[in-house]
Amino acid sequence: MNRTFAVTALGSSDLARMRQMLALLGEAFDDRETYCGRQPDDGYLSSLLSDWNFIALAAVEGESVLGGLAGYVLRKFEQCRSEFYIYDLAVARSHRRRGVATAMIRKLQDIAAERGIYVIFVQADYGDDPAIALYSKLGAREQVLHFDIDPHVGD
């Protein structure tokens, strides 16, 4: 496959790319308010992008961000090791099925291996067949339940 894009890890000075990535995520997930409505200021984003426990990857073609992946390093307590959780991953509709998501995950695998991260995990929603197919191709599927617990109960 002839790739016309590059996957790069974003650092503290990549604020414009991070904001492009947020816009892409908002568009891809049809949730612009969450990703674009109240974005953090430059200081917050710069600090986040320099944090060892946060990784943001952008698939870039020219000056355009066409894919984004963001997630967190989770230090474990039961053993001296870390896991990585892919929190968000999306590709612009115009560039899907071209290896962009796979390339971002492969780049993440390289970074995780360099850092000694034990495993990368991600969740997919039932019915999101493209995501399930992608993740099934790259890793072992587990059957789990996910619960959102409101921290403000009793307020």
Could you read off the pLDDT of 91-102 as tens digits, one per residue?
999 998 899 999
Q: Is residue 148 part of a domain?
A: no
Q: Is residue 15 part of a domain?
A: yes
In a domain, 16, yes or no: yes
pTM of the model: 0.87
Tokens of 62: 């020219």
Q: Is residue 29 part of a domain?
A: yes
- Residue 145 is assigned to a structural domain of this protein: no
Helices (H), the chain: 15-28, 32, 42-50, 100-115, 129-138
| Residue 149, pLDDT score | 67
Q: What percent of the chain has pLDDT over 90?
A: 73
Give a yes or no: residue 43 inside a domain.
yes
Domain for residue 155, yes or no?
A: no
Q: For residue range 117-153, list pLDDT tens digits in order.
A: 999 998 877 777 777 777 777 777 777 767 776 777 7
CA distance 31 to 119: 29
CATH number of the structural domain spanning residue 19: 3.40.630.30
Task: Band the pLDDT of 63: cuts 50, 70, 90.
Answer: very high
- The count of domains in the chain is 1
Q: Has residue 149 been placed in a domain? A: no
pLDDT of residue 127: 76
Could you tell me the residue range of the domain that residue 130 belongs to?
6-138
Mean pLDDT of the chain: 90
The 10s digit of each residue's pLDDT in 103-121 is 999 999 999 999 999 999 9
pLDDT of residue 11: 97
Query: CB neighbours of 117 closer than 8 A, spacing ≥ 6?
Result: 73, 81, 82, 83, 84
